[in-house]
């Protein structure tokens, strides 16, 4: 059995593993930190079936559409689901509608000739009434036109 005392003074051909282990540990820590940060996907809102299918409200009661109708030379006409309202009455009515709703979605439909500033005012009124999602409705374009 022979032991090396290190007194030979020559070069050693043994691999020094300590720096490799240090690099391995640093890489392991980096990967452990990065892996939980990766995104898992997008959250999707899936429609749930009604608890009582016999007592389902009609779709016209659920969907709120605010229409801005062009009138030449005058301010536009405002409607909520086919009911006429003054612009000053829109905020209290929308606040009342969305007071007890879990689904706070509103659609805004404007005529082609209406200035977009009027549409933007309706969007602002919807935000003041605590509407979460506001969609803009566009006319359906038929194929072949």
pLDDT 10s digits, 112-128: 888 888 899 999 999 99
77 occurs within a structural domain: yes
* Total-model pTM: 0.55
98 within 8 A of 63, measured Cβ to Cβ: no
6 occurs within a structural domain: no
76 within 8 A of 119, measured Cβ to Cβ: no
144 occurs within a structural domain: no
14 occurs within a structural domain: no
126 occurs within a structural domain: yes
87 occurs within a structural domain: yes
CATH number of the domain enclosing 102 = 3.30.420.270
109 occurs within a structural domain: yes
Range of the domain at 121: 62-137
143 occurs within a structural domain: no
Domain count, the chain: 1
Q: Per residue in 51-86, pLDDT tens? A: 766 665 554 457 888 889 888 888 888 998 888 888
What's the CA angle centered on 117, arms 112 and 122, to 5 degrees?
Answer: 90
d(CA 80, CA 105): 13
* Residue-level pLDDT at 54: 67
């Amino acid at each position: 059995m022979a032991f090396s005392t290190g007194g030979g003074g020559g070069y050693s051909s043994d691999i020094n593993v300590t720096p490799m282990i240090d690099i391995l540990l640093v890489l392991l820590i980096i990967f452990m930190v990065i892996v939980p940060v990766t995104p898992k996907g997008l959250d999707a809102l899936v429609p749930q079936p009604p608890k009582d299918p016999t007592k389902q409200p009609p779709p016209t009661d659920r969907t709120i559409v605010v229409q801005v109708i062009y009138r030449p030379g005058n301010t536009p006409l405002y409607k909520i689901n086919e009911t006429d309202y003054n612009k000053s009455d829109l905020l209290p009515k929308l606040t009342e509608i969305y007071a007890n709703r879990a689904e706070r979605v509103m659609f805004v439909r404007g005529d082609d000739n209406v200035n977009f500033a009027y549409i933007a005012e309706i969007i602002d009124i919807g935000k003041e009434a605590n509407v979460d999602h506001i969609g803009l409705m566009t006319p359906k374009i038929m194929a072949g036109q």
